[in-house]
Amino acid sequence: MLVEPEIPPNTGNVARLCAATGSELHLVRPIAFRIDAKAVRRAGLDYWSAVDLAVHDSLEHFLRAHPAPPPLAFSALAPRSYLDAPFAPGAALVFGKESVGLPERVLASFGDRVYGIPTSGPVRSLNLASAVSIVLYEALRALGALSPARLGPPSPGDSPATKP
């Protein structure tokens, strides 16, 4: 889930990732760019129709409608590693907007379900699409949804990966 995404290429990369893994993509408004059919076609996102997309008016609206399994939040400010996250099938993986991440009040509402990706270099955070990729593939791995892994182009009749 991307909360208030700001940069179209990041959302496009995450959308492709979701299409490739059979994962749902939830976007929370406001979205800083258009995602209507004309805008998507102009951007050349030929895989957009393969994305299981839902758009929500607010994070609170989504959380009320999907209380279980508990969602997990991800932040550069988190005290715990994503490698320790209790991934569960169907749990939302919540990421904030590129410029500031998730607001403090939102992070506080997640309690001990806030995780981050450790970095050792001088950067303050990773690119949003890179962070989503790292966490989503770890969730799929932890849930056994990558076994047996399919490498190469999809074959007719292939089923999508289990959704985290």
Which pLDDT value is given to residue 43?
Answer: 78
Whole-angstrom distance, CA of residue 130 vs CA of residue 74: 12
DSSP letters, 3-34, are: ES---HHHHHHHHHHHHHHT-EEEEES--SS-
Q: Is 2-142 assigned to CATH 3.40.640.10?
A: no
Q: Residue ranges of the domains in the chain?
A: 2-142
pTM: 0.88
Q: Per residue in 68-102, pLDDT tens?
A: 899 999 999 999 999 999 999 999 999 999 999 99
- 137 pLDDT more than 90: yes
Higher-pLDDT residue of 156 and 22 is 22
Please measure the distance between the N-terminal and C-terminal CA atoms of the chain and give it in whole angstroms.
12
The label of the residue with tokens 């932890």 reads 142
> 38 Cβ partners below 8 Å, 6+ apart?
none
